Homo-oligomer: A and B are copies of this chain.
């Protein structure tokens, strides 16, 4: 049998998900021998640019559609106008429209993930560490604006009756989330990655994608008869 695929589609938070402690690698381990985890993360991308990739990442012919796809955009769309990240900004209404187009891609299950919260203090310290005194005085992202985009993501999921992980709210439930879950005010620490991993697995399990109930792609070694191995592979 062909092992089914799970596609992780998103920005840098998805691209970096195979770094040490990353949520993508952890997901690949959770579904080891049950499903392939295919990472399609594009650092810096917003939903407008993601649309250009859609039909290449989710071709309509020639390959079985993914078993599940996580769609994790918004952190760049929510970059503020008139600040250093302006080029990445996508207006809120367009963000929702773009997400809707992505969600219509050919996947058996879509899991929308809201942008994570922003720690403005962490962003500023990160900018200073890179540019020193040259660093921008005004934040290029705010937690409030990330929350506005998160709410549109949630609303769309409700309208389309698809699953959504509100990671923006979830992370803020824990005291000290700013430093505990975010490494530079935006990207995830191993602890932040663990929250995403847990939420994604919980969502997948809620629709029946439980690793322990999914078939192995080939027999477990304990089921192979040493003197007649071919039986197990018939």
Contact = CB atoms under 8 A, between A and B. Distances in A.
Given A33-B42, A36-B38, A87-B226, A52 B221 contact: no
Most buried by B among A16, A28, A38: A28
So how many copies of this chain end up in the complex? 2
A88 B48 contact: no
Interface in A59-102: 86-88
A29 interface: yes
Given A221-B44, A229-B48, A230-B52, A29 B33 contact: no
A88 B45 contact: no
Contacts of A41: 32-33
A222 interface: yes
A215 interface: no
A174 B36 CA distance: 35
Nearest to A25: B25
Contact of A42 (B21, B44, B221, B229): B221
Contacts of A43: 220-221
A22 interface: yes
A149 to B, nearest CB: 18
A52 B233 contact: yes
A25 B24 CA distance: 9
Contacts of A32: 15-16, 18, 39, 41
Given A32-B39, A44-B220, A86-B226, 13 more contacts: A15-B32, A18-B29, A19-B29, A20-B20, A20-B21, A25-B25, A25-B28, A44-B222, A45-B221, A49-B221, A52-B233, A53-B218, A87-B226
